[in-house]
Amino acid sequence: MTMAKAINAGLRRVLAEDPKTLLMGEDIGKLGGVYRITEGLQAEFGEDRVVDSPLAESGIIGTSIGLALRGYRPIAEIQFDGFVFPGFNQITTQLAKLHMRSEGVLTVPVTIRIPFGGGIGSVEHHSESPEALFAHTAGLRIMTPSTPHDAYWMIQEAVASPDPVIFFEPKRRYWLKGDVDTEHRAAPAASAQVVRQGSDATVVAWGPLVPVALAAAQAAQEDGRDVEVIDLRSLSPIDFDTITASAQKTGRLVVMHEAPTFGGLGGEIAARVTERAFYSLQAPVLRLGGFHMPYPPSKVEANYLPDIDRLLEALDRSFAH
């Protein structure tokens, strides 16, 4: 099934299994969401469980916090990544901190679904990658799937978590098809997965860029370079053990993401792996991302987003050392 259908199936399962779960968001009910991720759920579970909210992201998040404090497990949808910022204050100053502020007495199991990333030819504020802003805030778990199977199981894991979760959905991969095993769970979201074994270099990617990394690794194979690919899956916490072990094996590491390289999560990963595996590295850890500029108009977004050619060029630079 597609990733969109996999998320829909995962949401249907949690709604059916736990009467304390409910969905909230703009146009998610009768319309089924902009991307039809919640299609059919309101008809099945009713308007009290799948709520068409007002156009007010701060209100959506604030209401979700209140519901969580009353024992519910709200799943809030932010229609597009760039629309999350009106609710950013609620997320970072309230949602992320209530558990610690109450010395562990209160839990706020809110899941916030955010379609993120570019590659769909959309207009301003519809193609952002704000994951580093949330990863910098302690108290939030951050997940992002890259396959339908992971999407199906990770959304259920997010909803079941006692902690608030930011669930980034790579919107340009909504139509990516793959096998979904509804009986056997995916690996826990906190664990990064080696999705391609290799011996000469490691590429770390997540969400929308995992297919790009795999395609580049296949192209590099034709040049005699055996590239390992890691799907990070969890952006907070980060599974540094898996990344470090791979970098120690291959001696080279490239981290890629759609967000601007400057201030991005790639810098944190590069620093941690350099600290842990300095004497195993044969080249500096390289970062590959978007440019330090507002997301460009759709006609030129292909020049902004990291692609196979830019990743292969980064690998060339790594092997030049």
Element holding 153 (H helix, E strand): helix 148-160
Phi and psi torsions of 103, nearest 5°: 55, 40
User: Look-up: residue for tokens 């040049």?
Assistant: 223
Close Cβ partners of 297 (under 8 Å, ≥ 6 residues apart):
124
The rounded radius of gyration (Å) of the Cα atoms in the chain is: 19
What residue type is 144 in one-letter code?
Answer: T
CA dihedral sign, ordered 55, 143, 206, 173: negative
End-to-end C-alpha distance for the chain, whole angstroms:
43
Exposed / middle / buried, residue 24 (Cβ in 10 Å: 0-12, 13-18, 19+): buried
Active site members: 126
Close Cβ partners of 290 (under 8 Å, ≥ 6 residues apart):
129, 257, 258, 259, 260, 261, 304, 305, 306
Strand, coil or helix: 259? strand
Which pair of tokens denotes residue 183? 């009986």
List residues bridging with 255 in a β-sheet. 204, 287
The secondary structure of residue 92, as a DSSP letter, is I
